[in-house]
Amino acid sequence: MAKQKEELAGMTGPGVGATRIEAIDEAAAAYVKERDKRIRQTPREVETKTKLIDLLHLHEKEIGRDGEGVLRYQYGGLSIELRHTEEKLRVRKLDDEDEED
């Protein structure tokens, strides 16, 4: 078991006690706040993604699949693709080819 270092009152620096850097503290707090917002949002994202996939399957005959088995749908500047083999959903802006979900 590692030997714990005791903090010495009034002394700071490496090996003596916790080093405090205000800019890092603030950046870490901001990151945790944003991360926690994203984590709280995840169940809602999963729910809406599942609903979209279910609706694509429901209307598959109307939409059709291409030669690769991909179901493709466009709406309001969005391109939506559902790959049959992986059930992978991709929703991206038509002018942004790199965005995936």
Give the number of other CB atoms < 10 A from CB of residue 16.
13
What are the per-10-residue average pLDDT scores of the chain (101 residues)?
53 72 93 93 93 95 92 93 83 69 53
Does the pTM surpass 0.85? The reply is no
| Cβ-contact 101, 82 below 8 angstroms | no
**Residue ranges per structural domain of the chain:** 22-93
pLDDT at 10: 65
pLDDT at 20: 86
